[in-house]
Amino acid sequence: MKFWIVSALAILSAVALALSGANEYLFFAGFVVLQAIILATGWNILGGYAGYVNFGVPGFVGVGAYTALALHLLVGAPLIVQIVAGAAMAALLGLAVGVLTLRLRGIFFSIATIAVVFILEAVVMNSRFLGGATGIQLTRPDDVWLFGTYTRMLFVMMTLMAVVALSVARYVQNSYIGQGLRAVRDAEEAAECSGVPTLKVKLIACAISGALLGVAGAPMPMYLSYIEPLSTFNLHYAVIALAMPIIGGTSHWIGPLIGALILGTLQQIVTVTISSELNVLVVGVLLVVFVVAAPDGVIGLVKKWKTSSK
Cβ distance 44 to 258 under 8 Å? no
3-state secondary structure of 161: helix
Q: By CB under 8 A, is residue 190 in contact with other proteins?
A: no
For other proteins, the closer of residues 17 and 291 by Cβ is 291
Q: By CB under 8 A, is residue 301 in contact with other proteins?
A: no
Which stretches does DSSP call E strand in the chain? 136-137, 226-227
For other proteins, the closer of residues 87 and 98 by Cβ is 98
Q: How far is the CB of 147 from other proteins (least distance, A)?
A: 15
Q: By CB under 8 A, is residue 23 in contact with other proteins?
A: yes
Q: For 19-75, what is the HEC assignment?
A: HCCCCHHHHHHHHHHHHHHHHHHHHHHHHCCCCCCCCCHHHHHHHHHHHHHHHHHHH
Q: How far is the CB of 220 from other proteins (least distance, A)?
A: 10
Q: By CB under 8 A, is residue 239 in contact with other proteins?
A: yes
Q: By CB under 8 A, is residue 137 in contact with other proteins?
A: yes
3-state secondary structure of 194: coil
Cβ distance 170 to 253 under 8 Å? yes
Q: How far is the CB of 7 from other proteins (least distance, A)?
A: 28
Cβ distance 298 to 258 under 8 Å? yes
Cβ distance 128 to 229 under 8 Å? no
- Contacts to other proteins from residues 66-125, by CB under 8 A: 100-101, 104-108, 110-112, 114-116, 118-119, 121-123, 125
Q: By CB under 8 A, is residue 35 in contact with other proteins?
A: no
Q: By CB under 8 A, is residue 251 in contact with other proteins?
A: no
Q: φ and ψ at 192, to 5 degrees?
A: -55, -45
Which window, 7-15, 254-262, 275-283, 302-310, contacts other proteins (CB under 8 A)? 275-283
Size of the site for other proteins (CB under 8 A): 63
Which window, 152-160, 163-171, 209-217, 278-286, contacts other proteins (CB under 8 A)? 278-286
29, amino acid identity = A
Spatial CB neighbours of 48, under 8 Å, sequence gap ≥ 6: 245, 250, 251, 255, 256
84, amino acid identity = V
3-state secondary structure of 259: helix
Q: By CB under 8 A, is residue 13 in contact with other proteins?
A: no
Q: By CB under 8 A, is residue 135 in contact with other proteins?
A: yes
Q: By CB under 8 A, is residue 269 in contact with other proteins?
A: no
> Rounded to whole angstroms, how far apart are CA atoms 137 and 36?
24
Cβ distance 58 to 242 under 8 Å? no
Q: How far is the CB of 289 from other proteins (least distance, A)?
A: 9
Cβ distance 246 to 203 under 8 Å? no
- Contacts to other proteins from residues 213-232, by CB under 8 A: 224-226, 228, 230-231
Residues lying near other proteins in the complex (CB under 8 A) are found at 23-25, 28, 47-48, 51, 53, 55, 100-101, 104-108, 110-112, 114-116, 118-119, 121-123, 125-126, 132-135, 137-140, 142, 224-226, 228, 230-231, 235, 238-239, 242-243, 246, 250, 277-278, 280-281, 283-285, 287-288, 291-292, 295
